[in-house]
Amino acid sequence: MSPQRVLVTGGSGFIAGHCILQLLEQGHLVRSTIRSLAKEATARGFLEGAGMVHSDKLSFVAADLLHDEGWAEAAADIDVVLHVASPVQPGAVANEDDVIVPAREGTLRVLRAARDAGAKRVILTSAFHAVSWGHPHSDHVFTETDWTILDGPGVDAYGKSKTLAERAAWDFIAAEGRGLELTTMLPVAVMGPVVGKDVSGSNHIVRHMLDGAMPVVPNLFIPVVDVRDVASAHIMALTDPAAAGERFLLSNGRALALKEIGAIIRAALGDAAKRVPTRTMPDVLVRVAARFNAGMRPFVPDLGYAKRTSNDKARRVLGWTPRAPREAIVAAATSMIGTAR
């Protein structure tokens, strides 16, 4: 692949950071948005700590998902946009619009800027939350053809935000894209090595296990994918003609019970993982607790349910081969504590 001029939105984020690292390693010219240029030195420092090479090929511009300013400058002379930035707030929130509006309106701002600047393609980081939430329990294998049922059980503001943002993106391309291509990525729970000090996304599960904030675990099953593989899928889709107009579900095998994730961490880290829970909270107690704790309510519909997923399309079309979930879990844990066994 010849070097591309790539805009990555939300450069201080978890997935975006790994996209930037891999893009630079492969010789691409990268521009990234952050909400304030006052944060550029910190963002660069985190990337350097994660092994960034060719830092001279990385630049930053200020742009916010809620404002028009900065997006024309960000997209100027860009070949491909990786739109990764989006609020990540699973569970209960005080105001759903705090999550939904930036996700949907920000996505439309990025698409307009990319189209107006003459970019060829936008690769949007959507999520499994736009695929599998709100469905009844069954043996169904989720694929890219599935969409979250917005008024179904267990759909939180984050699930709504990812679904509405992706729907809006496809509608924009159909009505106003004027030749702009769109590809969307739908990763399941993303874990892996932290970039910088912030812990985000599904890495919070690992953090809460390590620091004792989760003394017991609910009977939940989580499908896991490594952040490095999520980033590689984005880059595989940069110029591949077969990726245009497609959704790709990024998953890896069966969903893991939270207690199994804890066992993986304990086996890898020994004494450093002594606070990782070993017990599962009975379902009836989770249901009772959910009556009084809004943060517990999203768990109830999926208690004991392991969602099945297929990554056949990403493998077949992109040639994508993900790591085993254990690698993502152990990498996340070791990056948080700085030690491993």
DSSP state of 185: E
Are the C-beta atoms of residues 29 and 5 closer than 8 Å to each other? yes
From residue 73, how far is each of 78, 122, 192 by CA, in Å? Answer: 10, 16, 32
Structure token digits, residue 88: 């990540």
Tell me the C-alpha distance between 88 and 212, whole Å: 22
Cβ neighbors of 256 (< 8 A, separation 6 or more) are 221, 222, 223, 224, 264, 325
241-247, Cβ contacts within 8 angstroms, sequence gap of 24 or more: 242/317, 242/318, 243/123, 243/183, 243/317, 243/318, 244/121, 244/181, 244/182, 244/183, 245/181, 245/182, 245/183, 246/144, 246/183, 246/184, 246/313, 246/317, 247/126, 247/144, 247/183, 247/184, 247/185, 247/186
Tens digit of pLDDT at every position of the chain (341 positions)? 799 999 999 999 999 999 999 999 999 999 999 999 999 999 999 999 999 999 999 999 999 999 999 999 999 999 999 999 987 665 567 788 888 999 999 999 999 999 999 999 999 999 999 999 999 999 999 999 999 999 988 888 889 999 999 999 999 999 999 999 999 999 999 999 999 888 888 999 999 999 998 899 999 999 999 999 999 999 999 999 999 999 999 998 789 999 999 999 999 999 999 999 999 999 999 999 888 887 778 788 899 999 999 999 999 999 999 999 999 999 999 999 864 33
Are the C-beta atoms of residues 52 and 24 closer than 8 Å to each other? yes
| pLDDT value of residue 337 | 87
Tell me the C-alpha distance between 9 and 19, whole Å: 10
Tell me the C-alpha distance between 168 and 284, whole Å: 39
Q: What is the DSSP string of 219-245?
A: S-EE-EEEHHHHHHHHHHTTT-GGGTT
Residues with catalytic function? 162
User: Strand 221-222 and strand 29-34: pairing?
Assistant: unpaired
The gap from C-alpha 32 to its chain's centroid, in whole angstroms, comes to 17
**Domains of the chain, start order:** 5-194+224-252+307-322 (3.40.50.720)
| pLDDT value of residue 296 | 79
Q: Cβ-count burial of 305 within 10 angstroms (0-12 exposed, 13-18 middle, 19+ buried)?
A: middle
| pLDDT value of residue 340 | 39
Query: Other CB atoms closer than 10 Å to residue 340's CB: what's the count?
Result: 13
| pLDDT value of residue 254 | 85
Are the C-beta atoms of residues 32 and 8 closer than 8 Å to each other? yes
| pLDDT value of residue 91 | 58
Are the C-beta atoms of residues 213 and 3 closer than 8 Å to each other? no
Angle subtended by helix axes 97-117 and 157-176, to nearest 10: 20
Q: Which residues pair with 60 in a beta bridge?
A: 32
Q: How far does the chain reach from its first CA to its final CA, in angstroms?
A: 38
Are the C-beta atoms of residues 206 and 332 closer than 8 Å to each other? yes
Upper half-sphere CA count for residue 38 (Cβ side, 13 Å): 1
User: Strand 141-142 and strand 221-222: pairing?
Assistant: unpaired
| pLDDT value of residue 338 | 61
Tell me the C-alpha distance between 177 and 174, whole Å: 6
